[in-house]
Amino acid sequence: MKFFFATLLLCFFLLSSSFLVPVMAKSLFCANKCNDRCARAGVKDRCIKYCEICCAECKCVPSGTYGNKHECPCYRDKKNSKGKSKCP
């Protein structure tokens, strides 16, 4: 009986970890892309914060530290409450 529960518990952990990998990979993707994007920003922490929000929603970040927003239309078209670009 103990062996059955131990096996069941092991299977549960293996299956649950397979669901966590894509989530972690996505956030790591955004973190790396946003660190590159915000490398020259004056207020780097704010740039990274908004970049990661936009990346999570759009699943992409334009290349370079400025411009190139045509590479990611979702990122380009996000606006804040004042009508300005939300994404750095």
Task: Say if residues 35 and 61 touch (Cβ distance below 8 Å).
Answer: no
CA distance linking residue 72 with residue 57, whole number of Å: 11
Question: SS3 helix, strand, coil % of the chain, rounded to 5?
Answer: 65, 0, 30
pLDDT per residue as tens digits for the range 2-44? 766 556 555 555 555 444 444 444 579 999 999 999 999 999 9
3-state secondary structure of 31: helix
Task: Tell me the one-letter amino acid at 52.
Answer: E
CA 74 to chain CA centroid, nearest Å: 14
Q: Can you give the pLDDT at residue 10?
A: 58
Q: Can you give the pLDDT at residue 25?
A: 44
pTM: 0.68
pLDDT per residue as tens digits for the range 39-79? 999 999 999 999 999 999 999 999 999 999 999 999 999 99
CA distance linking residue 1 with residue 63, whole number of Å: 56
